[in-house]
Amino acid sequence: MTATSSRDDHYAGEPIAEHRSRLRATVDTILLNRLAVTGLIILLLLVIAAAIGPLVAPYGINEISIPDRLQGPSASHWFGTDDLGRDLFSRVIIGSRVSLMVGFIAVGIALLIGVPIGLASGFYGGAVDSWLMRLMDILFALPAILLAIAVLAVLGPGIGNAMIAIGIVYTPIFARITRGSVLTIKESVFVSAARSLGATDIRILRTHILPNVVAPITVQTSLSLAFAILAEAALSFLGLGVQPPDPAWGRMLAEGRGFFEQAPWMAIFPGLAIVITVMAFNFVGDGLRDALDPQQRSVIESRGQG
């Protein structure tokens, strides 16, 4: 760029920074973060595994073979077999479908309910805010798993109801995060500026507030996905989520518990799958948080330069 030589006296100078779109800057910063990249790669593999699972799984998930029961990891059964002789590798691969689906749908429910509540509460304030937030506080005050169990006790166990239960549990988090961000952004000068130009409430919410709360919500989404997967595992472990014989990591963990001394792999591999997935979501969440905060971004970039 010939920034200094092509100076035009007619104008008040050129932009002082290079043109780099926000998306580009965000992507650049994420790519500088090794953990986030690792997390992204793991998640990508996981999604692929879930998508083409039946094609790569060497055995059927419910292919029972009693003679092969409780075998350790080997060339023919990478993760070993369970008490019914089912191939654990195949079950872990297919189990990722349940985990990811429950995670995404449950968090989706929480987003769809929580974000509008937070927007209304933060933007309108006053009595609306007081009542909505007290309601959220009540949900928040109950221990998450207890609340989910209570919801499932009413709705009955099963995967669909598990997703609803987890979604309800995470609603107040999204409502709170959204409200907090709206409260800050509502007070910013550019919102007053838009109002001074005659913008309606709807316009202000849509064009100025919502795009500016996307960043914290995105971060929270990726972190919540990790928690939702854990919650699903816990509920399935307790027998309230996925019902046998469908494979789910929590369920498999519960089944493995009884055989821990004879066949530790029955618990270790689904457990590892949970740990790795949750960590991957957390890495990506942390990376996003840094990347979406412009102040953090410049710190990271200067560190990247040594």
Partner 1 sequence: MTETLLDVRDLRVHFPIYSTGIRRKEVARVQAVDGVSLSIGAGETVGLVGESGCGKTTTGLAILRLVEPTDGSVSFDGDEVGNLSKGELRKLRKRAAMIFQDPFASLDPRMSIGDSISEPLLIHKLFPDRNDRIDRTCQLLEKVGLSPNYRDRFPHEFSGGQRQRVGIARALATEPDFVVCDEPIAALDVSIQAQVMNLLEDLQDELGLTYLFIAHDLSAVQHLSDRVAVMYLGRIAEVADRSQFSAGLKHPYAESLLSAVPIPDPHLERTRERILLEGDVASPLDPPPGCRFHTRCPYATERCSNEEPSLRDLGGGHQVACHLYD
Partner 2 sequence: MSDPVLSVNELTVSFGTRRGRAKVVNNFSYDVGEAETLAIVGESGSGKSVSSLALLQLLPTPPARVEGRALFRGADLISMTKSEIRGVRGNRVAMIFQDPMTSLNPVRTIGFQLMEPLKIHMGMSDTAARARAIELLDTVGIPSPGGRVDDYPHQFSGGMRQRVMIAMGISCSPDLLIADEATTALDVTTQAQILDEIRRLQEEMGLAVIWITHDLGVVAGIADRVVVLYGGSMMEESVIDQIFDERRHPYTRALLESVPVSGGDRPHRLKAIQGLPPDPTRLPPGCPFAPRCRHAVERCSNDAPRLRAPAEGHRVACHLDPADFHD
What are the residues binding partner 1 (CB under 8 A)?
8, 10-19, 21-22, 130-131, 134, 188-190, 192-200, 203, 207-208, 211-212, 294
Q: Tokens 């972190």 map to which residue?
A: 223
Give the x-and-dash track for 238-277 against partner 2 (CB under 8 A): ----------------------------------------
For 246, phi then psi, to 5°, come to -60, 140
For 77, phi then psi, to 5°, come to -125, 95
Using the rule CB under 8 A, give the single segment among 12-20, 95-103, 202-210, 220-228 that binds partner 2.
12-20
| Long-range pairs for 198-201: beta carbons < 8 A, 24 or more residues apart | 201/123
CA neighbor of 106 nearest in space, from 65, 66, 143, 160:
160
301 binds partner 2, rule: CB under 8 A = yes
Residue 75 binds what, of partner 2, partner 1, none (CB under 5 to 8 Å, by partner type)? Answer: none
Q: How far is CA 207 from CA 116, 176, 201, 210, 212, in A?
A: 15, 21, 10, 7, 9
Residue 197 binds what, of partner 1, partner 2, none (CB under 5 to 8 Å, by partner type)? Answer: partner 1
What six digits make up the tokens of 145? 């798993």
Using the rule CB under 8 A, give the single segment among 7-15, 30-38, 40-48, 78-86 that binds partner 2.
7-15
Q: Tokens 């690792």 map to which residue?
A: 38
Question: Of these, 2, 6, 12, 202, which contacts partner 2 (CB under 8 A)?
Answer: 12
Give the x-and-dash track for 55-74 against partner 2 (CB under 8 A): --------------------
Contact 274, 229 (CB under 8 A): yes
User: What radius of gyration, in Å, describes the C-alpha atoms of the chain?
Assistant: 24
| Residue 13 vs 156, nearer CB to partner 2 | 13
| DSSP character at residue 81 | B
| Residue 201 vs 301, nearer CB to partner 2 | 301
| Residue 16 vs 141, nearer CB to partner 1 | 16
| Residue 7 vs 206, nearer CB to partner 2 | 7
Please give the distance of CA 22 from its chain centroid, rounded to a whole number.
22
CB of 116 to partner 1, least distance (A): 20
CB proximity list for 40: less than 8 A, separation 6 or greater:
30, 280, 283, 284, 287
Termini Cα distance of the chain:
25
CB of 27 to partner 1, least distance (A): 16
| Residue 35 vs 210, nearer CB to partner 1 | 210
CB of 211 to partner 1, least distance (A): 5
CB of 4 to partner 2, least distance (A): 6
d(CA 285, CA 107): 14
Question: Of these, 2, 6, 13, 154, which contacts partner 2 (CB under 8 A)?
Answer: 13
Residue 112 binds what, of partner 2, partner 1, none (CB under 5 to 8 Å, by partner type)? Answer: none
Q: Tokens 């499932």 map to which residue?
A: 152
Cis peptide bond prior to 247, omega within 30° of 0? no
Residue 8 binds what, of partner 2, partner 1, none (CB under 5 to 8 Å, by partner type)? Answer: partner 1
Exposure string of 232-241, with b = 16+ CB inside 10 Å and e = fewer, is bbbbbbbebb
Chain residues that interact with partner 2, rule: CB under 8 A: 3-4, 7, 9, 12-13, 16, 301-302, 305-306
